[in-house]
Amino acid sequence: MIYRVKLTLWLGFFLRLVIAFLNGFVGPTYGSSDDSLGFHEVAVLFSQNLADDSFLFNNIYPSLLGVFYSITTDHLFLGSALSALGWLASAFILVRIMRILSFKMSNQWRVMLIYALIPSSLMYTSVTLREPFQLLFVNLALYAALKIYFHRSNAHWLVLFLAIVGMGAMHGALLVSGIFIIVGTLFLLTSRNRKGVSFTKVVLVTPIVILCLFYGFSLFETFSYGDRLEDGLSLAIQTYQEGTMEAEQQAGYRTDVEINGLGGLILSIPYFLFQYLV
């Protein structure tokens, strides 16, 4: 059964290379719209003058892509193929995550089948977008957290930290998810003892958890227009979605945003997810 998991993984990578080839040599593929072409063009300009001070950590993906272009050549196929490699790395990490969690081999194959062949993933992780590297760092953070909890590997705290930095570099809002991964890991560690949570652990961990949550909520306000939370969570989310809708339309998904109260917020989640996945 393990060969089916590996075969599906490599099939997904091969299909992404095919799409990258078509995108680079034949013409724009689905998902390779203004957003991905914009990243490519910025990277090309940066690769022509690495001494330029245009390297920005809040826009680090095209900057790093420009460094890659300077080492190789600034062809769109290579940038797209690099995204396919990023997805491949994330897929290998996902397999390791499933093994840590003792997934049956048949379930590993089903998960990889979805992860590798879902149409939206094929399209958006084969072009010059940040999505494959976001997947890579999110999977790496989860893998490190599981190694810390199940295998008591303190060395993976460094991996977790670097993965969360990478998540934030690819998309600032992912820092919030990273903060909650840290908080969740700390809570799991304190409750691992079957005899209960010791007072010493509570004293040591509670300040860290409070700081992480405080920092996470601060980031939420920064990246999600949290100053409008006073008007309600649904309105704050709708405002944020409207603010990012133009970029998402350029990337090839999202048609409209309308959230009416808490009920509308709950109903909108599967609708927005469906738009993103197809």
pTM of the model: 0.75
Residue 108, in any domain of the structure: yes
Report DSSP letters for 73-130, one per residue: ---HHHHHHHHHHHHHHHHHHHHHHHHHTT--HHHHHHHHHHHHH-HHHHHHTSSS-S
Residue of 224 and 203 predicted with greater confidence: 203
**Assigned domain for 6 exists:** yes
Domain limits at 34?
Answer: 1-129
Does the residue 21 lie in any domain? Answer: yes
pLDDT mean over 206-235? 54
Q: Give the confidence band of 246 by pLDDT, cuts at 50, 70, 90.
A: low
Instruction: Classify residue 99: in a domain, yes or no.
Output: yes
CA 158 vs. chain centroid, Å, equals 19
Tokens standing for residue 107: 């379930």
Report yes or no on 121 lying in a domain: yes
Answer whether 240's CB lies under 8 Å from 225's CB.
yes
Amino acid in the structure at residue 189:
L
Contact between 172 and 61 (Cβ < 8 Å):
no
Give 255's Cβ-side CA count (13 Å radius): 5
Q: How confident is the model at residue 220 (pLDDT cuts 50, 70, 90)?
A: low
**Contact (Cβ atoms closer than 8 angstroms) between residue 178 and residue 189:** no
Residue at 59 is within a domain: yes
Pairwise pLDDT comparison (177 vs 10), residue with the higher score: 10
CA-nearest of 277, 197, 272 to 238 is 272
pLDDT number for residue 169 = 84
Tokens of 66: 């420009």
Instruction: Count the domains in the chain.
Output: 1
- φ and ψ at 198, to 5 degrees? -75, 155
Asked if residue 43 belongs to a domain, the reply is yes
Q: Give 78's contacts (C-beta < 8 A, 6+ positions apart).
A: 24, 68, 69, 72
Q: Worst-scoring range by mean pLDDT, 51-60, 61-70, 183-192?
A: 51-60
With respect to residue 29, please indicate whether it lies within any of the assigned structural domains. yes
Please identify which residue in the block is written with the tokens 């980031």: 219
> How many other CB atoms sit within 10 Å of the CB of residue 234?
17
Task: Kindly tell me if the per-residue pLDDT of 103 is higher than 90.
Answer: yes
Nearest to 277 by CA among 31, 14, 18, 112: 31
Lookup: tokens for 136? 């890579």
